[in-house]
């Protein structure tokens, strides 16, 4: 566990390497080497490649960050403790054990790389460079916004709960290795996120760029962030611009299941490429953590499975196309709790690569944008909200369409659960909307001592502690520890 203080070493050309542990050996950002790493737009593109690679780490989008919201959101449960990451489900968190400080370390590692890219570009431009760095600058700013959005959701109160509460340190410049930044407020974090996104948007291409961020990925992030802030007008405007652009299209019901066997499909707005030779986590991959115990390998431990609460929700329509990525788990052959989105299919075909575990991470899909549009429109135009929701709800063909008189935020939330299952949203959705979560502990007979069976966002462990290792390296941040820890 390394602190921000240590992580001030930024990884430039070494970012092409997928290793997560060697970064302590590199030079700090004020070294001569890092000042000269970017000289041309082509150099900047190489460093963006490295940044995307770092985001695929198992401590971030490669597995653990997505599993965080999955494990805590009530749509998943565990059959047995001790198999891995079950501390997320049981909320076994403290500053000294179970702090899951890997989120803090890896995301700040990525942020500091983005900061170094931005500083290098700014320096070159101030010296009169005429190279076109707009695309790289826009991608670095958008990536930094995404990373801060993820961090503040892990360590800060929901914006709607208390925006004056402490969030995370706003580090937007490479710092001296002795720096010890303190936490900003949640509001300050969100303001920085929006500023980055708004600055980046006009710099970015509207063309699809597989594996990278573009203008529409930036807009999608603006829609997400504004929805979390309760800025419904802004969220709807961003979502509708994407929808009306025609650059992306929803899968038909006949296409939806097979879409998981493909890379960069028509719904994919931002998708991180996982390569068999770089970033393939194999038996530690996201897909492996969600499949049935023993399926395809004795190393498949059956880490997580769908809760009965989720299966009841999906079971409202036995013809729902989304059953196509579900298979039985170790409870019984009739309990379809194993999710195969990140195995490509229930036959483990992957998404077209040489291994079934090197499956791309779909960070932002068009389906989510329609659901954002529905929720953002709801306060002002229920008919419009129903129209957007029904574009996704039709994946349950036996259910009646939503109408102006029947649509509600709970209906939208249920649809988000079904459509975005195991994609890293549920817990954050429940917290931002101030919903209680009930856990299916009895499905596996799990004895949980660190939380009640039902919680809401008043429970202090719904946000993570600052780890003791970070406090040791940055003593003043101890005064800013999250309440209860």
State pLDDT tens for residues 412-441.
999 999 999 999 999 999 999 999 999 999
Q: Which pLDDT value is given to residue 252?
A: 98
437-446: average pLDDT: 93
pLDDT > 60? residue 18? no
Residue 371 backbone zone (phi > 0: left; psi -120 to 50: alpha; other: beta): alpha
- Structural domain tally of the chain? 2
The DSSP call for residue 233 is: H
Residue 190 lies in a domain: yes
pLDDT > 50? residue 364? yes
CATH number at residue 71: 1.25.40.390
240-260: average pLDDT: 98
202-226: average pLDDT: 97
- Residues 198 and 290 reside in one and the same domain: no
Residue 172 lies in a domain: yes
Task: Give me the percent of the chain exceeding a pLDDT of 70.
Answer: 93
Q: Which pLDDT value is given to residue 65?
A: 98
Q: Which pLDDT value is given to residue 190?
A: 98
Residue 234 lies in a domain: no
Last residue of a domain, one of 309, 343, 377: 343
Place of tokens 């996982």: 274
% helix / strand / coil in the chain, to the nearest 5? 50, 5, 45
Place of tokens 């897909």: 287
36-52: average pLDDT: 91
Element (H, E) at 429: helix 426-432
Residue pair 139/213 in contact by the 8 Å Cβ criterion: yes
Greatest Cα pair distance in the chain: 67
- Residues 85 and 186 reside in one and the same domain: yes
Torsion of CA 292, 298, 304, 307, to 10 degrees: 30
Residue 401 lies in a domain: no
Q: Which pLDDT value is given to residue 2?
A: 42
83, two tokens? 């198999």
- Residues 289 and 156 reside in one and the same domain: no
pLDDT > 50? residue 5? no
- Residues 331 and 463 reside in one and the same domain: no
Residue 13 lies in a domain: yes
Residue 261 lies in a domain: no
Q: Which pLDDT value is given to residue 36?
A: 54
Residues 265-302: pLDDT tens digits?
A: 999 999 999 999 888 999 999 999 999 999 999 999 99
Global model pTM greater than 0.85: yes
Candidates 445, 448, 450, 438; CA nearest to 80 is: 445
pLDDT > 60? residue 20? no
pLDDT band at 22 (very low <50, low <70, confident <90, very high): very low
- Residues 181 and 94 reside in one and the same domain: yes
Residue 479 lies in a domain: yes
Most confident of the following: 27-31, 33-37, 241-245: 241-245
- Residues 66 and 186 reside in one and the same domain: yes
- Residues 291 and 185 reside in one and the same domain: no
Q: Which pLDDT value is given to residue 37?
A: 80
- Distance (Å, rounded) from C-alpha 25 to C-alpha 6? 10
Last residue of a domain, one of 301, 328, 343: 343
DSSP class per residue in 365-397: EHHHHHHHHHHHHTTT-HHHHHHHHHHHHTTST
* Structural domain span for residue 338: 282-343
Residue 66 lies in a domain: yes
Task: Give me the percent of the chain exceeding a pLDDT of 90.
Answer: 89
Candidates 158, 231, 185; CA nearest to 428 is: 158
Residue pair 217/279 in contact by the 8 Å Cβ criterion: no
Q: Which pLDDT value is given to residue 176?
A: 80
- Residues 301 and 197 reside in one and the same domain: no
Element (H, E) at 77: strand 76-77
- Residues 29 and 166 reside in one and the same domain: yes
33-56: average pLDDT: 86
Last residue of a domain, one of 343, 370, 391: 343
Q: What is the mean pLDDT of the chain?
A: 92
pLDDT > 80? residue 33? no
């Amino acid at each position: 566990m390394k602190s921000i203080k240590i992580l001030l070493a930024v990884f430039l050309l070494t970012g092409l390497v997928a290793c997560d542990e060697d970064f302590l050996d590199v030079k700090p950002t004020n070294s001569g080497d890092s000042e000269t790493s970017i000289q041309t737009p082509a150099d900047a593109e190489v460093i963006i490649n490295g940044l995307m690679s770092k985001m695929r780490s198992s401590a971030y989008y490669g597995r653990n960050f997505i599993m965080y919201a999955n494990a805590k959101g009530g749509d998943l449960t565990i059959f047995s403790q001790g198999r891995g990451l079950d501390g997320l489900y049981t909320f076994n968190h403290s500053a000294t054990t179970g702090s899951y400080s890997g989120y803090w370390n890896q995301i700040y590692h990525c942020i500091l790389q983005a900061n170094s890219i931005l500083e290098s570009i700014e320096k070159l431009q101030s010296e009169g460079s005429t190279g076109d760095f707009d695309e790289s600058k826009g991608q670095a700013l958008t990536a930094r916004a995404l990373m801060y959005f993820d961090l503040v959701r892990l360590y800060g109160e929901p914006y709607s709960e208390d925006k004056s509460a402490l969030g995370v340190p706003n580090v937007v410049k490479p710092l001296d290795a002795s720096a010890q930044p303190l936490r900003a407020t949640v509001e300050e974090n969100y303001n920085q996120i929006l500023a980055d996104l708004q600055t980046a948007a006009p710099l970015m291409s509207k063309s699809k760029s597989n594996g990278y961020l573009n203008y529409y990925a930036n807009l999608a992030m603006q829609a997400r962030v504004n929805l979390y802030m309760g800025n419904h007008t802004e969220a709807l405007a961003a979502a509708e611009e994407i929808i009306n652009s025609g650059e992306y299209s929803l899968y038909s019901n006949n296409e939806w299941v097979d879409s998981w066997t493909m890379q960069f499909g028509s719904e994919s707005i931002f998708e991180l490429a996982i390569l068999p030779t770089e970033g393939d986590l194999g038996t530690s991959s996201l897909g492996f953590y969600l499949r049935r115990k023993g399926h395809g390998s004795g190393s498949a431990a059956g880490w997580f499975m769908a809760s009965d609460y989720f299966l009841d929700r999906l079971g409202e329509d036995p013809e729902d196309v989304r059953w196509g990525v579900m298979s039985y788990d170790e409870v019984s052959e009739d309990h379809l709790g194993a999710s195969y989105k990140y195995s490509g299919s229930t036959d483990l075909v992957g998404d077209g690569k040489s291994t079934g575990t090197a499956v791309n991470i779909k960070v932002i899909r068009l389906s989510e944008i329609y659901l954002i549009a529905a929720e953002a429109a709801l306060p002002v135009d229920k008919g419009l909200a129903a129209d957007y929701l029904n574009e996704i709800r039709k994946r349950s063909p036996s259910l009646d369409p939503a109408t102006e008189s029947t649509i509600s935020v709970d209906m939208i939330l249920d649809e988000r659960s079904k459509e975005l299952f195991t994609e890293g949203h549920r817990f954050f959705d429940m917290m931002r909307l101030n919903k209680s979560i009930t856990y299916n502990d009895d499905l596996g007979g799990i004895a949980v001592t660190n939380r009640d069976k039902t919680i809401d966002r008043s429970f202090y462990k719904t946000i993570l502690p600052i780890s003791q290792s970070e406090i040791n390296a940055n003593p003043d941040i101890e005064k800013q520890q999250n309440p209860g820890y």
